[in-house]
Amino acid sequence: MFHFFQSFLLAIFLPILSLGSVQVEEPQPVVILGGGVGSLTSALYLGRAGLHPLVIEGPVPGGLLTQSYTVQNWPGEMEIKGAALTDKMKEQAQANGAHFLNEEVIQVDFSTRPFAITTRTLDGSGKEHQIYAASCIIAMGTKPNFLGIPGESEYWGKGVTNCAICDGSLYKDKVVGVVGGGDAAVLEALYLSNIAREVYVFVRTDKLTGVEGTRVRALLDKPNVHLQYHAVVEEVKGDGESVVGVRLKVGGRSQEVKLDGFFLAIGSTPNSQMFQKALTLDQKGYIVLTSDQETSVKGVYAIGDIVDPVYKQAVSAAGDGAKAALQVQQYLSDRQNKLVVQKTSHRETKKVHISKEVIEIHSTSQFHNELASSGVPVVVDFYATWCGPCKKVSPLLDHSAVRLAGKVKFLKVNVDKLSDLSSSYNVKSMPTVVLFDAQGAELERKVGLEQITELLKKLQPE
């Protein structure tokens, strides 16, 4: 009976799904919002069930786990990099029939059937699309918190960051600080202790609260790690170009600590703002579940950190993902006599041929030659192969290089291979994109996916 239902379902939906170089037409049997571990697990289960789920990855493919340099508590893996783990999971999901769309969700409407999901491209063009779905799994996780203190935003990307795995290599043999007292702070400090000369950890309370006891003990044993308890960071100090330290209040007394870099590890907030009118949320913004992973709307499920204020583990998100996938299968099966839905809109996404016009720099002399001989403005991407956000920026630059061929030159610099070059341009965080004029003078620089996307959008022809 299930095979009949599956064939009937796919006969309706799959003729209007084509994802060669990412085309989407609606409706879809199931759409997954987010690209982290929970999402990838749901995609695997639903793909193996023959439902060909569509995963809208959002701005951080692989989720926050990609920022973990090492994962040691994933079953079956003694140790693995977070990005490597999510890459393997995505490859497995794709092999089983899942499809991935490189866009972000900006609006949902769960009041009609099929559900309406509005997405926007991440190439700087700002194009919006409508996707319709018979069911939906929300796996959009959380976003890091900020202190909201003087100097924090001013020096963001100039020494202030929230990703040790992305930016840690820039602080080799330097002095850095980490603020926070939970598992995230412990992991960041441990990673940085193997790179930086000294690591200061600023803890607001009287102890570390990380649940990973082994890691806490390992951190306490590090001779180059200095913990300061009852420490409240009040200001990030800088010289106009880079971070030079922080001002603290410890036990009611102010003091300054000289630093080259400052890492935030102070928790996160669920990415649930767009669901405030669509679903029931709790007081902290987490999506409320009614039955297993089902939300207040039938056919809509939520998984991972966006529903979990307590555990926030990759393995628990994966468990959520498996349960939600099984619930979706049952939900669609129960509705098999109501599967034929009227299409309320239609869109076509043309295939875009992306040619590799971004020039990889292999030496400092090559870089200066490319800059000097350009004759047009130059965009330079400072990246690292293990940096998750950098992987998201790369296809945006490829796309822009095609559209701006002959008008703007695009270069990319691997900061690990050309550390002296990146240091000479005071690169403090990744990804960093620097725009030069036709004479090689720096015009502006942007740090992080959002800022870089805005810059590329500004460069696009009207």
Label residues 107-128 b or e (16+ Cβ within 10 Å = b).
ebebeebbbbbbbebbbbbeee
Residue 305 falls in the annotated catalytic set? no
List phi, psi (to 5°) of 392.
-75, -35
Distance CA 182, CA 243 (A): 24
Query: Is residue 166 flagged as an active site residue?
Result: yes
Which residues are 386's β-sheet partners? none
Q: From CA 337, how far away is CA 356, in angstroms rounded? A: 48
For 254-276, letters b (16+ CB in 10 Å) and e give eeebebbbbbbbbebebbbebbe
The catalytic residue among 123, 136, 166, 308 is 166
- Give the DSSP per-residue string, 290-338: SBTTB-SSTTEEE-GGGT-SS---HHHHHHHHHHHHHHHHHHHHHTGGG
Q: Of how many residues is the chain composed?
A: 462
Cβ count near 207 (within 10 Å): 10
Closest CA to 431 of 396, 390, 380: 390
Q: Exactly one of 123, 167, 320, 381 is catalytic; which is it?
A: 167
The number of beta carbons lying within 10 Å of the beta carbon of residue 448 is 21
Q: Please give the DSSP secondary-structure letter assigned to residue 282.
A: -
- Cα 244 from chain centroid? 28
163 is catalytic: yes
Q: Catalytic residue positions? A: 163, 166-167
